[in-house]
Each structure stands twice: as structure tokens, then as C-alpha cells.
A and B are shown apart, each in its own frame.
Chain A
Amino acid sequence: MKILVAVKRVVDYNVKVRPKSDGTDVDIANVKMSINPFCEIAVEEAVRLKEKGVATEIIAISMGPKQAQEQVRTALALGADRGILVESDEDLQPLAIAKMLKAIVEKESPDLVILGKQAIDGDNNQTGQMLGALTSMPQGTFASEVNVADGRVSVTREIDGGLQTVNLSLPAIVTTDLRLNEPRYASLPNIMKAKRKPMDTFTPEDLGVDATPRVKTLSVEPPAERKAGIKVADVAELVDKLKNEAKVI
């Protein structure tokens, strides 16, 4: 069984980002970039499926600037067998990414595509679903448990009311939630081995996709700063303030 796993290069989750002074975007000059945590969980799940003998090959793919090969290398060190980088300096948005993933899916015919449910930069939560629509593959999103057996995958999903399990025929798409697994760190020997694993590079044009952004960001602003509180003398004053100033009761 072949697994395609998508990894996105995002601002490291430890970085406190701030908007650019002109409000056009988040300032990412000279900040640390890492693999999106949800994507890391996707890689870990693929590697576990391979360790269980379910998967035979894992392909890690990333799309973005040339430096996104760092994230592909990280996935290779974790256990992916080969990598693909779709190189583009465009602001890649979910629809373009889904179209390019579709082109790769047609090329590689994976049995399972695993993606993070969303990336921590755009928080779009769209790519997996769009890929499902474009390829007509069944999808199990927000997975907290994944089991593959007899040509089907059963995905336990975290939904508002509790857990829901869907059973999909392969090939299928799975997007990962935070509680699916805890990703490992790769050992130095595996990092060194990853350097020798093959990585193909394409451009959006090679895949016949127009990656021009369709959605325009109008402005980016920091959250409102918290104002200093006040001390009230007694409960009566508190109730008065809540009623007449805050107008919450």
C-alpha cells in the first residue's frame, strides 16, 4: 500500500507572530519555520502504518518556496521513503494546493492520502476536503484513530458530540486531528539516511495548475490588547458595573 502524506512549511508554533506595520500580512522575516504540527502527525501515522506492515511506501510532499525542502527532509528522516517538492513562490492557497495534489495523486496512485486537518498559519481547514471533491475519493477528516484492513480504512473522528467512526473504501483521504498520535523525533542515523533519499521537484506549471491566489487578504491586525482591570468595593458595585457598564447582565 502506498501512502502520500502532505507537509506544509509554516511559522514554528513557538514563534509569537505579529502583523507587518502596513497590516498587509504577518511578518515572517527571519522567523523560524517548521513542519506544521498537524502534518507531522500525518507523517507519524503513515510511518506507524508502515511499521505495522500495512504500508509499503510513503511519499512526502510539500509545496512552497525552495526552502520547503527542509520540511520534506524532516519527513524523510521520520520515515518517509521519498519526497516531492512543488516549488512556487506564490502565496499557495488551499484550492491550488488541492489541484496540485490531485495531479500528484493521478501520477502516483496512492491508496491513502494523509494530510493535517489544517495548517497553523492560515487555519483554513480546506485542502483535504477540496482534494476529496476534486478526486471523488472518500474522506475521513479530523481523525483521532485510523485503522486499515481488508482494502478499507476506518477513521474515528472527533466531532462536537463525541466520536464518530466512518469506514471508507480505498483509495481514501484522511486528515489528522491533534490526538491521533504523538510524533517521534528522528535519530541521527535516520536523519543522515534521509539525505540520500530521492526528492523530485516540480513546478505548478509542470502539473498544469494555475497557482495564482484567488483570495485576497484585506488586512491583518493583532488581537485587541487586554485593558487593565479595576477593583470594586463590594458585590453591589460589581453588579452595577456588570449591568450598566459592561451590560452583560
Chain B
Amino acid sequence: MALDFDSAALYNEKLGPEHHSWREHLRKFLAVEVEPFMDDWDESGKIPDEMWKKAADFGLLQLGYPEEFGGISEGIDQHYLNILSEELGRIGSAGGIASTLLVHGIGLPPVVNFSPQAIKEQVVPAVLAGEKRISLGITEPSGGSDVANLTTTARREGDFYIVNGSKTFISGGMGADWISTAVRTGGEGGGGISMLLIPTHLEGVSRTPLDKKQGWWCSDTATIYFDDVKVPVDHLIGEEGHGFLVILNNFNNERLAMIVNMEACARCCLAEAVSWAEQRMTFGKPLSKHQVIRHKITQMKQRINATQAYTQHVTQAVIEGRSNFGDLALLKVQASETMEFCAREASQILGGACYLRGNKVERIYREVRVNAIGGGSEEIMRDLAAGQYGL
């Protein structure tokens, strides 16, 4: 057996012919519409606008959303979403595309799940059709992980909330038409937080790009300022003071997507390293015949195997509605550590070839940190898990 991307995957007995078919067509879509342009998108710092329409025509944006708003949910299970994250990793995208083209994956669910019907009808179909964009605004300049102490305020005045404050590291923030924003409507702590859908065209909203990043270059990350922004009260997402619940509900889906993607990126590094090690001759034999390289490769595979088996376990728990959030949090750590290890080892095997831009391993290497920090840092994940385990 070989160690290419597919062969290095553990057998997953839960996948049927329809999942296979989805992977087949998705892989082709990515090969035609995405893969050839990834380096250009990275270098130019953006994904062209027409990609949203293409993604909607293919059905990518609609995946998993309710049919009544133009989504495709009938017969869709968690495996379809996992396959999407996996295939993005296969082409060497460790979140740059997901955090731009698919960033509605974190911005839209609060609206779908908790907004009034009229708002849903106004927002959801437009986003799923690729005509409008939505992002999620949680992190502030003063901190990201400590959600309960965020400082952006929304003061009720008649039929409006007056919003003041700022949000930063907002993926897709420059292009967003709406931001699902965490704001303080009440007193201190988690109970004083609400979620508010803020249209970016409103007076008092301004943004600056954060375009000098280590990774995710194609993603339009922003800092967003709210200066006496008047937001209609029907834009409240869920009940006042229930913002924390809305946010938590979101995080676990985001984390699972990141986890699957990180494992796939680790596997992509493995496949690239093996392919090179088998061709490259040093000291009279292929790299892959040198013990030091063989050990690197098998150590990568060992960690990838463990991550995959753990991911299959957690995915099944999610499908059956018996998730353990501690296990999920630690899986995110497992995945980012595996990706970090494999990006490093693959880089060592590829050597100078990998120090140049324009190859998958180089991109994945520079996107390690954002995955180990974003969506819940390794430290926060461990702490969350400790809490879940009753420590």
C-alpha cells in the first residue's frame, strides 16, 4: 500500500456511495475552480467576487442549511461537511478559503437558528445564493478567548440598539454585508451578552483590513469599529442576555470543521513528503530509504492515524447527539499538534524546495499558528476540557 492522501486515510465504515459521489464531484470542482488559483488568491490577498456565485451554483454555500431558505439539507449528514473540510485540506488549504468563501459557516448559523423569521428570510437566502456575505464578530482588541468579559456595548433606545466598540481578527470582515456580533446589553459577565446582527452599511460602521498576516492571505480579515451605530431591535439574534448560548452553540461546529481540515492538512504534508522522499536521491539511494527519513514519515503517519480514529469517534458522537465537549476540545488540540508536527517534518524532508512559496507544505506550515490559536487556542481548549471533566 502507498502513502498518498487517500491511501493514508483509515477506512471509514460510515461512508456510503453517496458520500463517495459527493467527494468525487467536490474534488473535481476544486480541481477546476479553486486549486489552480490558490497561489494567486494568496498573493493578491483576496478571492475574486465571482467565486461566490460559482460556489452557490455548485451547492457549496448551501450545504447543510434548511431547504426553506434555499439550502440543501435533505439527506445531508455530518460526513458531507467533514468531506468538504477534508478535500480543502487535500489541496493544501488550511482554512484560508474556508475563512473567506465559507465564512458564513460561522456567521450564518446564529441567524438561521435564533433570528426572527422576517430577518431569516431577508438574510439567509441571499447569503446562500452568494449574493451577500455574513461574518461573525466575537473577538475584540482587548481579548478573544475571554468572551464573558467583552466590552462592545449595545444600549437600547426605543426601537434601536446603539452600538459602540470594536471587533478584530474578523474573518471575511472586509467583504461582509452583515456581522453577527457579540455585544454587551446587560451587566457584567456572560449573562450580559447578546448577539446582534449588524448591517455593515449602517452609519457609524467603519473597518480596516488586517492584511499583513502570517497565513490565510486570501482571507479578508478586518478590524471593525462601531461608533453610535443604530441597529433595529429586530436584529437581535436570540433573546437578550442569551448571547453566550448562541456563541457556544456555534463553536463546536466550527471546531469540528477545523479539526477535520487540520488532519487532512497533516495528511497532505505526509503525502507530499512521501512523494518527494521516494524520488529524491541522496547518497546513492532515495531519501525514503534513509532510516532518519523513514522514521519521520512513520511518526507522521502514527499521529495522523490517531487523529483520524479520534475524529471518526467524535464525528459519530456528534451525529448521534452525544458529544462530549471536552473530548471535542482535546481533539482540536490533537489535530493542531499533529498538523504542526507534520508541517514541520514534511518541510524538513522537502528541504529547500519547501522554503519557496507556491507549494502546499509551505502554505500549510505558515497556517499552523492560526489553526492552533483560532477557534479556541490549544490552552483554552485544554482548560475547557478540564472543566468538562469536572476538574
A69 to B19, CA, bound (A): 12
Q: How far is the CB of B312 from chain A (nearest CB, A)?
A: 16
Q: Say yes or no: is A35 at the interface (Cβ < 8 Å to chain B).
A: yes
Q: Do residues A188 and B20 form an inter-chain contact, with CB atoms below 8 A?
A: no
| Known contacts A12-B6, A74-B24; A188 and B63 CB within 8 A of each other | yes
A187-245 CB contacts (< 8 Å) to partner B: 187-189, 191-192, 194-195, 228
Residues of A within 8 A of B2 (CB): 15-16, 18, 31
26 sampled A-B residue pairs with Cβ under 8 A = A12-B6, A14-B4, A16-B4, A18-B2, A27-B1, A30-B1, A31-B2, A70-B20, A70-B24, A72-B17, A74-B20, A74-B21, A74-B24, A77-B21, A185-B25, A185-B29, A186-B25, A187-B57, A188-B25, A188-B59, A188-B63, A188-B72, A189-B59, A191-B22, A192-B75, A228-B281
Q: Say yes or no: is A34 at the interface (Cβ < 8 Å to chain B).
A: yes
A17 to B278, CA, bound (A): 14
A209 to B59, CA, bound (A): 42
| Known contacts A185-B28, A185-B32, A189-B59; A29 and B21 CB within 8 A of each other | no
| Known contacts A185-B29, A192-B74, A192-B75; A34 and B24 CB within 8 A of each other | yes
A27 to B1, CA, bound (A): 7
Interface membership of chain B positions 42-60, coded 1 if the CB is closer than 8 angstroms to chain A and 0 otherwise: 0000000000000001111
Q: Say yes or no: is A32 at the interface (Cβ < 8 Å to chain B).
A: yes
Residue of B nearest to A72 (CB): B17
Q: Say yes or no: is B203 at the interface (Cβ < 8 Å to chain A).
A: no
Q: Say yes or no: is A8 at the interface (Cβ < 8 Å to chain B).
A: no
Q: Do residues B58 and A32 form an inter-chain contact, with CB atoms below 8 A?
A: no
Q: How far is the CB of B286 from chain A (nearest CB, A)?
A: 10
Q: Do residues A31 and B1 form an inter-chain contact, with CB atoms below 8 A?
A: yes
* Range, interface on chain A: 20 to 34
A189 to B26, CA, bound (A): 12
Partner of A188, one of B4, B6, B62: B62
A70 to B23, CA, bound (A): 11
Residues of A within 8 A of B17 (CB): 67, 69-70, 72-73
A187 to B24, CA, bound (A): 11
Q: How far is the CB of A197 from chain B (nearest CB, A)?
A: 11
A174 to B75, CA, bound (A): 36
Residue of B nearest to A76 (CB): B21
Interface membership of chain A positions 141-170, coded 1 if the CB is closer than 8 angstroms to chain B and 0 otherwise: 000000000000000000000000000000
Q: How far is the CB of B291 from chain A (nearest CB, A)?
A: 21
A65-83 CB contacts (< 8 Å) to partner B: 67, 69-70, 72-74, 77
Q: Say yes or no: is B18 at the interface (Cβ < 8 Å to chain A).
A: yes
Residue of B nearest to A12 (CB): B6
| Known contacts A30-B11, A194-B21; A187 and B6 CB within 8 A of each other | no
Residues of B within 8 A of A188 (CB): 22, 25, 58-60, 62-63, 72
Residues of A within 8 A of B6 (CB): 12, 15, 30-32
Residues of A within 8 A of B25 (CB): 74, 77, 185-188, 191
A35 to B17, CA, bound (A): 13
Q: Do residues B18 and A195 form an inter-chain contact, with CB atoms below 8 A?
A: yes
Q: Do residues B32 and A15 form an inter-chain contact, with CB atoms below 8 A?
A: no
| Known contacts A73-B20, A194-B21; A32 and B7 CB within 8 A of each other | yes
Residues of B within 8 A of A194 (CB): 18, 21
Please list the 10 inter-chain residue pairs (A to B) with the smallest Cβ-Cβ separation, ordered nearest first. A188-B59, A32-B6, A185-B28, A70-B20, A70-B17, A73-B21, A186-B25, A185-B29, A73-B17, A185-B25
Residues of A within 8 A of B76 (CB): 192
Q: How far is the CB of B282 from chain A (nearest CB, A)?
A: 13
A140 to B59, CA, bound (A): 37
Q: How far is the CB of B268 from chain A (nearest CB, A)?
A: 13
Residues of A within 8 A of B59 (CB): 187-189, 191
Interface membership of chain A positions 39-70, coded 1 if the CB is closer than 8 angstroms to chain B and 0 otherwise: 00000000000000000000000000001011
Residues of A within 8 A of B62 (CB): 188
Q: Do residues B21 and A191 form an inter-chain contact, with CB atoms below 8 A?
A: yes
Residue of A nearest to B20 (CB): A70
Interface centre among A16, A31, A34, A185 (most CB of B within 10 A): A185
Interface centre among B29, B63, B281 (most CB of A within 10 A): B29
Q: Do residues B29 and A31 form an inter-chain contact, with CB atoms below 8 A?
A: no
Residues of B within 8 A of A186 (CB): 21, 25
A77 to B275, CA, bound (A): 32
Residue of B nearest to A192 (CB): B75
Residues of A within 8 A of B57 (CB): 187
Residues of A within 8 A of B281 (CB): 228
| Known contacts A16-B2, A18-B2, A185-B28; A31 and B7 CB within 8 A of each other | yes
| Known contacts A185-B32, A188-B22, A188-B62; A195 and B75 CB within 8 A of each other | yes
Interface centre among B17, B21, B24 (most CB of A within 10 A): B21
Residue of A nearest to B84 (CB): A188
Q: How far is the CB of B21 from chain A (nearest CB, A)?
A: 4
Q: How far is the CB of A182 from chain B (nearest CB, A)?
A: 9
B350-371 CB contacts (< 8 Å) to partner A: none
A139 to B343, CA, bound (A): 53
Extra inter-chain contacts (12) besides given A74-B24, A185-B32, CB under 8 Å? A15-B4, A18-B2, A31-B1, A31-B4, A31-B7, A69-B17, A73-B21, A185-B58, A187-B57, A189-B59, A191-B22, A194-B18
Residues of A within 8 A of B24 (CB): 34-35, 70, 74
Residues of A within 8 A of B1 (CB): 27, 29-31
Q: Do residues A189 and B21 form an inter-chain contact, with CB atoms below 8 A?
A: no
Q: How far is the CB of B33 from chain A (nearest CB, A)?
A: 9
Q: Do residues A70 and B21 form an inter-chain contact, with CB atoms below 8 A?
A: yes
Residues of A within 8 A of B20 (CB): 70, 73-74
Residues of B within 8 A of A191 (CB): 18, 21-22, 25, 59
Q: How far is the CB of B157 from chain A (nearest CB, A)?
A: 44
